[in-house]
Structure 1
Amino acid sequence: MDATKTEEPFLRHVETDVLIPKRMREKAKERCVERVQAFNICCKASGFLMVIKCREENAALKECLTQHYKDPAFFEECKQEYIKEKLEFQRTGIPAKNRTQKLPTSM
């Protein structure tokens, strides 16, 4: 074993198969924001006909998202972010969403 490599914490099945992919979906939507917006605008303008009228926007969105989902480097990036948050939670007991809140200035 390489002494310079840090050992990663054990990840449960639910973390690797559910939680990290969920993070990937959220980040992929951020990276494909223009296609998400184009699809949303088309859907709002088309009403019930969106299935027919928005095929091009839907295909472009799917292509962008799938490109990210299949990228092993993107999975690794999301996994490392998840591990960092998990370790910080274990250290502090404070969930990530609560850590970003600002503390009151007058105590």
Structure 2
Amino acid sequence: MSKQEETHNAKGPHGLGDPDDRTLRIVEKEVLIPKIMRDRAKMEKCVPEVEEFTKCCSSSNVLMAYSCRKQNAAMQDCQTRWYKDEVFKEECKEIYLKERREFRLTGIPKKHRHKETENATNST
């Protein structure tokens, strides 16, 4: 195998990186994985707190920053608890690595993959 072929194969089937590489870049650690954590905390872990804050904001209009401080604090406290949870952080990292692997294997971004794949990711 030539040097050029080795280099190409190391980049994965679509030239997007090795699907089995589990190393993370800084942007993945500091931006992309925390985004998954925020989204999951909001949509799965802190649902009652988010609902209370949303309900308060919709009924308060202009004064929401003042009127909804208690609900906002409760929502932020809940999300912060999950951000500090190492097991949750590891779950989100694994979700990210699985999504990145799929992208590197298929070349298809998550938003264009079949809805079933997205639902399976969200149920973990």
Q: Which residue pairs with 2:37 in the alignment? A: 24
Gaps of 5+ in 2: 1-19, 117-124
Output aligned runs, 1:52-63, within 5 Å.
52-63=66-77
CA-based RMSD of the aligned residues comes to 1.6
Runs of 4+ in structure 1 deviating by more than 3 angstroms, as ranges, are none
Output aligned runs, 1:1-107, within 5 Å.
9-30=22-43, 31-101=45-115
Q: How many residues align?
A: 96
TM-score (norm 2): 0.71
Q: Which has the higher contact order (CA 8 A, sep 6+)?
A: 2
> Which AA in structure 1 matches 2:93?
K
Distance apart, 1:51 and its partner CA: 2.0
Distance apart, 1:100 and its partner CA: 2.0
What is the aligned-residue identity percentage?
Answer: 50
Give the whole-Å Cα distance in 2 for the aligned partners of 1:86 and 1:65: 25
TM-score (norm 1): 0.82
Gaps of 5+ in 1: 1-6, 103-107
